[in-house]
Chains A and B, each alone.
Chain A
Amino acid sequence: MTTVPLRLGPLTVAGFEVRRSGIRWLCEDGRLCEPGEVVAYCNIGLVPSRELQAAPQPFAEETRDLQVAFALPVGGRLRKSTGSSHGGFLDRLHELQRWTPDFVIGEVVRSSHKPTVGGETGDALRLLLLAGRRFTEFAEGRSGLLTGWHDRARAWWGEAAEPHGTVLCLGNCELSASMRGESGAFLDLFEGARGPAHVAVVSDDVLVPCASTLVEQARRTPAEAEALAADFMQSFQASHPPPRPEDWVYASCLLAALQRSPLTERYDLLMRAGLRTAMPADTLVVSLGAEAQIVLRHKRLGYTMSLYGFRIRDAGAAVRAWLGAAFEPVERTIDDIRRDLTALIEAVRAQGAATVLALNVMSSSAYETIQSYSSFDRPMGNVLWSVRSKETNLMLHDLARERGIVIVDVDAIAADLGAGTHFPDGIHGSGRMQAEVRAEIVRALRVCGVRGFAPRAVS
C-alpha cells in the first residue's frame, strides 16, 4: 500500500501573483477514485505587480470566473487534507490566499500499482483550467464548477508543452449541452482529450450563433459596430412603451453579443509555466439546429440576427416594439442556409481553421403517421418538418463533399437510440443521447488530427 500526496504543483505567471480560493471538493472523503478523475477545484486570481497594474490584464472578461479543477494522477482511496477547504465565501474568493506549489490538498492511498494518466505528470495533480465570460458582470453565480450565466465558457489542460488548438463550438443548446456534459464543466469531454486541447462554447441564450450572423460579426468594422449601437440607443430611448427592466437586460446582452465576433477572438490560457495566447479557433463545430428558417434583418443597417421566439416573448414590450419597427423577418430557404454555411466555412478557412464539424438534425418523429404524401402541398420541404429536416441534412452532405467538412450524424444516433425515448419533446436529448453525440464529436476530432484529441496515453 502506498500513499501519493496531492500537491498543487507550480502555477506561475511572470509579473503576477497567482492566488486562489479554498478548495471545493466534488466527492466524499474515502471515495475510491479512478486515475484522471476530477475531484476538486478552486477559483483563481491573478494579481498584477505594481508595474503591470495599468497594463491590459489577462482574462479581463473572465476575471471572476476563472477556475482550476484538479484531476488525480493515480487512482485509489481519496483522503482530504483538513486544511484544504474553509467553507463559505472563503472557498469562493479568488484572491483569498497565495498559490503555493507544495500545498497538499489530500492524498490517494493506493492498494496496488495502477497506471498514471498521461504519463507525463508523475504524481502531481493535473490542472483543468476553466473560464466563463459573463453576459454581464452582475450575473454572479459562483455556486459551483463553471456555474453562472456565461456567454462563452471554455476549458483546457494546464500542462501541455506543445501549443493548444482551439475547438470553437457555435450552435444551439444541444451542441453546448453535449460538449459541456452532465457537469456543465466539460469534464466528460476532457476525459477524451488528454493533450493540448482547448474548447470554447458560445451561448445561444440571447443571440443564436447562426452562420450569417457569425460572418457578419467577423466582418463588422468598428465604425459599423458604433453605428449599430447608436441606432439601438436612439430607438430604444424613444421606445413606446418605455423599456422595463427585462427589456434592458435582454437588449444590453444582445447589443454586447452583436458587437463581439466569436470567429476572430483570441484567448488567454493559464498554464503551469505561465500565460499563453491561443489564436482564433482552428476547429469549428456548428449545428444545423442553430440555422433557423427565419432571421431578422435590420431595415436600415442591413445586419441580420437570429433570435429565439420564446426569448423575444419573455424580453419585454419595448424589445418587441424595437424589433417590430426596426427589423423585418427574412425567411431562409435551404439554399440560403447552404450559402450562409459556405460563407462561414470560407471565412474560417481564410483565417486558418482546417477542420469544420457540423451536426445535422433529427428528422424522424416517434408519433408521426404518414401513410401517403399526397395529403401535403408541394414543395413538401416547406410544409412537413420531417421532409425539411431530411432535405437540410442532404444539403449538408452536398456541402461536406464540396467543402470537406465532417458531419456528426445526430439523425442516425437518435434513430439508433430511439427518438421517442431520447428526444421525448422532439428537441432536447437525454444524457445518453448527449453522451453519444459527444463521443462522436471526439471521435471525429481524433480522426481529423485536431490538437489535443490524440488517443489517451497510459504508462
Chain B
Amino acid sequence: MLISLTLPRTNEYMTEAVIRKIYATEGELLAVGAKFLDFAVDLSARVPHDCPPIQHYRLAVRDRAWLRRLKVVAGDEVPMGATLALFSTAPDEPLDGKPARAVRVSLAGIIDSSDWWVGPGA
C-alpha cells in the first residue's frame, strides 16, 4: 500500500515552510516513531507585527513503512499541503498508483537555536 506525507498545517497563518533537516534516506525502512524531518515556519511575511515568530517542528512517522521517494531536500521552501514523500508498506510496491492514505505522523514543536543568530556578514 502506498502512503504519502504532505506538509501539515502548524499554524493558522502558515502558508509554507523551509525543510531544515531530513533524517531518512530513500529505500530505508522506518520504524514506528522514527524521526523523519524538521522544518521551520517563518511567519514574518504573514503576520504584521514587529517580532516575527520563527517556529521549528519535527515530524516522526507512526507507520512502519519504507521510504520510497523523497520529494524535498534540506533548504527547500515548500507550500503547505505539498507532498514531501511517498512510503509503501512493502519494499517493492510499484509507485505509479494513487496513495491509499496519508502516513500517520507525530508533529512536535522543537527547539532549534542554530539560526537564532545568523552571524557576521550574513
Contact = CB atoms under 8 A, between A and B. Distances in A.
A222 interface: no
B91 interface: no
A306 to B, nearest CB: 11
A320 B118 contact: yes
A294 B113 CA distance: 8
Given A310-B52, A386-B109, A323 B116 contact: no
B109 A293 contact: no
A368 B51 contact: no
| Tier of interface size on chain A | 35 or more
Contacts of B119: 320, 324
A191 to B, nearest CB: 25
Given A294-B116, A320-B118, A383-B110, A425 B43 contact: yes
A324 to B, nearest CB: 3
Contact of A370 (B35, B108, B122): B108
Interface of A: 173, 205, 241, 293-294, 296, 308-310, 312-313, 317, 320-321, 323-325, 329, 331, 365, 367-372, 374-376, 382-386, 388, 420, 424-428
B67 to A, nearest CB: 16
A376 B110 CA distance: 10
B108 A376 contact: yes
Tell me which of A320, A323, A367, A386 has the highest count of chain B C-beta atoms within 10 A of its own C-beta. A367
B108 A325 contact: no
A388 B49 contact: no
Interface in B79-122: 105-111, 113, 115-122
Q: Which residue among A312, A329, A425, A426 has the maximum number of chain B CB atoms within 10 Å of its CB? A: A425
Contacts of B12: 420, 424-425
Contact of A324 (B47, B51, B106, B120): B120
Given A310-B52, A420-B12, A386 B120 contact: no
A375 B56 CA distance: 16
Nearest to A327: B117
9 contacts: A313-B118, A329-B116, A367-B10, A368-B108, A370-B107, A383-B110, A385-B56, A385-B108, A425-B11
B10 A173 contact: no
A385 B13 CA distance: 19
Given A384-B109, A425-B53, A309 B13 contact: no
A293 B120 contact: no
B9 interface: yes
A375 B38 CA distance: 13
Given A173-B50, A310-B44, A374 B110 contact: no
Given A205-B50, A371-B62, 15 more contacts: A293-B113, A296-B117, A310-B54, A323-B120, A324-B121, A367-B9, A367-B11, A367-B107, A369-B107, A383-B110, A384-B109, A424-B11, A425-B47, A425-B53, A428-B47
B55 interface: yes
Contact of B51 (A293, A308, A317, A329): A308
